[in-house]
């Protein structure tokens, strides 16, 4: 009732949920660099451009962040490389 109109239904690896997603970038010291909360049905890759722009070097994410287009954009605009594990059905390749 409290978040009616803000929280949405989303799907994760554990199944369906109702609520929000928390996206965070943490540096090598464990300090928060950037945090964003999105609706549950928001694609994981959407907030990355805003969050990772001031960051440089390597950004590590889970399989939900896999995207050749996103990796190319980050490399071009912020000199950042996105590193993720591959999905089971993907062949190893350089992005």
Query: pLDDT tens across 3-57, in order?
Result: 888 889 898 878 899 999 999 999 889 999 999 999 999 998 999 888 888 888 8
Q: Is residue 57 part of a domain?
A: yes
Q: Is residue 91 part of a domain?
A: no
Q: How many CA atoms does the CB half-sphere of 10 hold within 13 Å?
A: 16
CA–CA separation, 43 vs 60, rounded Å?
A: 17
Domain residues for 69? Answer: 8-84
> With contact defined as beta carbons under 8 Å apart, do 54 and 48 qualify?
no
Q: Is residue 27 part of a domain?
A: yes
Q: Is residue 28 part of a domain?
A: yes
Q: Is residue 40 part of a domain?
A: yes
Q: Is the full-model pTM beyond 0.85?
A: no
Tokens of 12: 């994760």
Q: Which residue has the tokens 């993907």?
A: 90
Q: Is residue 1 part of a domain?
A: no
Number of domains present in the structure of the chain: 1
Task: Assign 25 to helix, strand or coil.
Answer: strand
């Amino acid at each position: 009732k409290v978040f009616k109109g803000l929280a949405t239904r989303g799907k994760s690896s554990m199944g369906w949920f109702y609520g929000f997603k928390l996206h965070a970038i943490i540096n090598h010291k464990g300090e928060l660099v950037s945090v964003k909360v999105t609706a549950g049905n928001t694609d994981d890759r959407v907030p990355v451009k805003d969050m990772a722009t001031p960051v440089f070097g390597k950004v590590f994410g889970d399989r939900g962040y896999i995207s050749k287009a996103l990796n190319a954009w980050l490399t071009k605009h912020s000199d950042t490389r996105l590193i993720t594990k591959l999905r089971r059905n993907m062949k190893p390749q350089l992005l």
